Every structure is written in structure tokens, then in C-alpha cells.
Amino acid sequence: MGRRISYREALREGLREAMQADPRVFLMGEDVGRYGGSYAVSKGLLEEFGPERIRDTPLSELGFVGAGIGAALGGMRPIVEVMTVNFSLLALDPIVNTAAMLRHMSGGQFSVPVVIRMATGAGRQVAAQHSNSFEAWYAHVPGLRVLAPATVEDARWMLRAALADPDPVLIFEHAQLYNSEGELPESEPLTVDIGSARVRRSGTDVSLITHGGSLPKALQAAQELAAQGVSAEVVDLRVLRPLDDATIMASVRKCRRALVVDEAWRSGSLAAEVMARIGEQAFFDLDAPLARVCSEEVPIPYARHMEEAALPQASKIVAAVLALMGVAA
């Protein structure tokens, strides 16, 4: 038996555990302290751990992300919270040119054990500058590990393994997931895996490959497809760098059809990378062309009906699968 918990609460429990276990761990970012976090993830932690370990920062991603990287180099274990992935672009230089590269450029003399958490994704009517999914940009960079927890269990336990990693780890939390709830097993996992994908639903006809905020939509689509006689397997990538090719290919070879669901724009997307790898490794196992459902190639609109039209939805996934199966919708 487990207990019902929200994604937000699972993240908070992970943060609390990390800070209790290691005095070198501290959290820094905009509004993480007195305000309790932009998404209320760190609510109550300032009172519990004090301002030295829950540090409100000035509104300068370039400054405080750089400071977090420096703290990691100095022997600390910082967790840096960036309010949204859009704002992380201001810190691209320290993340990509310093944190990701320093182990290589120092010949292995230095590592940068920093964890950077950030909200990603759309669906909340906060318009174009707060709604993007740039995970693929970071998954492009050697030296970074990129995680996308989509379940309460991953939200709870991935941080532990991320802090134990000697290299920089980026954790993308889809903003639509914070209020979602799930069952968290009472017993702690023996191992915390941040290297492999997970099959969230078994199937035989088509493999739905996705991550983050698109996972609930893929699972909903799989349920609707089952009512129409189509058995869809749902693969949650979870780890965007390095990608778990073995799990992806095993699913594709079993189902012989694949649809990739990715909230990012189609051009240059993670979906494109996944499809390319399937083409390279499992082309002759396919019974149909590869397909994908991505966001429309427009800045994410503010108006609710336009935002919903721009994003992947369960109905779009169902229609794409039926087309792949040669079944009229």
C-alpha cells in the first residue's frame, strides 16, 4: 500500500530529505524562501532550515546560476531553482560553457555537482514568454544529465540520485503536473534510477513515446484507443540525456509502429532525435512510417482555446495513431 500525494508535495519531500541528509545541500533561487517558491514547492522550508540554506536571490538568472556553479566547485551541493525554462536562457553561458564543459576542459580534475530545477511547458495561459519546452536544447549538450520526472514517484526520488551525480543535472518539472496526484509507495526504493526510460502501459499495436507533461495525455489517449481495439504501449522517456535507446527500441520492435509525443515545436525537437534513432536502429522492424505529435509552430498563445489548439492533446494523439493504423477516425 502507498499514500496519495501531489507532485508538488513529492518534490518538497525530496528537497527536505536532501537537506536533512547532507549539510552541504542548500536551495537558492527567486522567491524560494519567504514566498515559498513560485509553485509552492519550497513552502515551509525557510522556517525549517533558515536563510543560509534556503536563499532568496536577486532577479538575475545569469548571476545566481553562476553562483550555484561556483558553490558546487567549492564543495557544496547546491540546488538552483529557475522559475521557468524561458528564463534559463539568461543563464545559458554558465550552464553550457562552464558547468557542462569543465570536467572535460580540466582533464577530469574538476566536477560540477550542481542540480538545476526548472518549470517547463504550457497550458496555464501565461503566454509565449512563459510557456516553452526547451528540454531538447539542454539534451543536446554533452556533460549535462537531463531529467523529466512525470510521476510522483520520480518527483520524489530523482533528486537523491541527481545530488549524488558528480556532474551537473538539470531537472525539468512540467508546470501542469504540480497539482497532479499519484500513489507513492511507503517503502523507499532500493535504487534511484536516473538512467533509463519506463514503460508506463504495456501494449502491442503502437508505441507512444513521450515525457513530462505529455505523459498523462498519452496515457489518456491509450485508454481511448483501447476502447477502439487498439493496444497502445506508453513509454516515458524520463531521462532525456542520455536517452535510453534499449527501452525505446524494445518497445518499437514489439509494437512495430511508433508515435512520438513532444510538447516542443516540431522543428529540431527531441521527437526528431528519437525518430532518427529509431530509423537508425529499428527501421526494418517497422510496419508503418514513424509519426509524431508536437506543438504547432507558433509562439504559445494566451487565449485558452488557442493555447489548447497549439498543444498536443489526447484527441490529436488518438487521431494520429488511427491514421498510423490505417483506421478511419
Cite the active site residues: 61, 130
Q: Positive or negative, the Cα torsion across 252, 256, 262, 267?
A: positive
Give the length of the chain: 329
Q: Which three cell numbers stand for residue 40?
A: 509552492
7-21 vs 152-164: helix axis angle to the nearest 10? 30
Closest to 7 in 3D by CA, of 139, 237, 182, 200: 182
> What distance in Å separates the CA atoms of residue 197 and residue 239, rounded to the nearest whole number?
6
First to last CA, the chain: 40
- Contact call for residues 218 and 317 (beta carbons, < 8 A): yes
- Contact call for residues 123 and 251 (beta carbons, < 8 A): no
